[in-house]
Chains A and B, each alone.
Chain A
Amino acid sequence: MNSKKTLIVSHAPFWHDGSGIPERSYHTIIAALPAAIVGIAYYGAPALGVISLAVASAIIWELLLNYAGKRPITVGNGNAALIGLLIAMVLPASAPWWLVVIGTFLAIVIGIQIFGGIGANPFNPVALAIAILMVSYKSHLDFDAALVNFSLNFPSATDPLAALKAFGPAAVENLHPVDLLMGRQVGGLGSSCGLAIAMGGIYLILRGIIRWEISIAFIAGVFISAMLFNMSDPVRYAPPVFHLLTGYTLIGAFFLATESSSSPVNFIPMLIYGALGGVMTVLIRNIGAYVDGVIFAILLINLINPLVDKIRPKAIGKVA
Chain B
Amino acid sequence: MRKRSLFGLSNPCFHYELATDVYPDPVAIPTPETVTLYIKQELKRTNISLKVGTPVKTGQRLVLNEGDDICAISSVTGTICAIAPFLADYGRAWTAVTIKTDRGDTPDTEFTEASEKPSLETLKRYLAAGPGEPDIGPLMDERNPVHTIVIYGGNADLLIDTSLYVLKHNAEAVNEGIEVLRKATGIEEIVIVVPEESVQNYSGHLDARIQSVSSHYPYAQPLMVLHHLTGRLPDEKGMASMGVYFIRAEAVAAIGQAFSTGSLPVEKTVTVIDKRGTKHLVRARVGTPVGALLKTFGVEINDQDKIIFGGPMTGNAIYSEDLPIGPDTDAILVQDKSVIPLYSDYPCINCGDCIRICPANVPVNLLVRFLEAGQYTEGADLYDLYSCIECGLCSYVCVSRIPIYQYIKLAKYELSRITSAEEMNEQ
B318 interfacial by beta-carbon distance below 8 Å = yes
Residues of chain B lying within 8 A (CB to CB) of residue A13: 312-314, 392-393, 395-396, 405
Which of A190-205 touch B at CB < 8 Å?
205
Residue contact B303 to A20, C-beta cutoff 8 Å: no
Residues of chain A lying within 8 A (CB to CB) of residue B292: none
Residues of chain B lying within 8 A (CB to CB) of residue A265: 350-352, 355-356, 365
Which of A171-203 touch B at CB < 8 Å?
none
B32 interfacial by beta-carbon distance below 8 Å = no
B406 interfacial by beta-carbon distance below 8 Å = yes
Q: How many A-B residue pairs have CB under 8 A?
A: 193
Give B80 Cβ to nearest chain A Cβ, in Å: 15
B335 interfacial by beta-carbon distance below 8 Å = yes
Closest residue of B by beta carbon distance from A14: B312
Residues of chain A lying within 8 A (CB to CB) of residue B349: 21, 118-119, 260-261
Give A144 Cβ to nearest chain B Cβ, in Å: 38
A16 interfacial by beta-carbon distance below 8 Å = yes
Residue contact B361 to A2, C-beta cutoff 8 Å: no
The DSSP consensus for interface residues of chain B is loop
Residue contact A119 to B350, C-beta cutoff 8 Å: yes
Question: Cα distance A18–B344 when bound, in Å?
Answer: 12
With A20-B399, A317-B387 already in contact, the answer to whether A208 and B360 are too (CB < 8 A) is no
The DSSP consensus for interface residues of chain A is loop
With A312-B361, A317-B227 already in contact, the answer to whether A15 and B351 are too (CB < 8 A) is no
Residues of chain A lying within 8 A (CB to CB) of residue B365: 265
Question: Cα distance A5–B360 when bound, in Å?
Answer: 40
Question: Cα distance A145–B22 when bound, in Å?
Answer: 78
Question: Cα distance A254–B3 when bound, in Å?
Answer: 25
Q: Can you list, as one digit per residue, whether each of A201-230 has a CB less than 8 Å from chain B (1) or not (0)?
A: 000011111011000000000000000000
Q: Can you list, as one digit per residue, whether each of B175-200 has a CB less than 8 Å from chain A (1) or not (0)?
A: 00000000000000000000000000
Q: How large is the interface on A (under 10, 10 to 19, 20 to 34, 35 or more residues)?
A: 35 or more
Residue contact B2 to A317, C-beta cutoff 8 Å: no
B362 interfacial by beta-carbon distance below 8 Å = yes
State the interface size on chain B (CB cutoff 8 A): 78
State which of A21, A208, A261 has its C-beta within 8 Å of the C-beta of B9: A208
Question: Cα distance A266–B350 when bound, in Å?
Answer: 11
A-B contacts, 25 of them at CB < 8 A, read A7-B303, A7-B306, A7-B319, A8-B306, A9-B317, A10-B343, A11-B405, A11-B406, A12-B317, A14-B308, A21-B400, A119-B346, A206-B7, A208-B8, A208-B9, A208-B353, A265-B352, A312-B363, A314-B361, A315-B360, A315-B387, A316-B361, A316-B387, A317-B386, A318-B387
Tell me the A residues contacting B by CB distance below 8 Å.
Answer: 1-3, 5-21, 24, 72, 77, 116-120, 205-209, 211-212, 260-263, 265-266, 312-319
A12-B395, A119-B400, A206-B8 given; 9 more Cβ-contact pairs under 8 Å: A9-B317, A11-B405, A12-B313, A16-B1, A18-B341, A20-B399, A261-B350, A316-B227, A317-B232
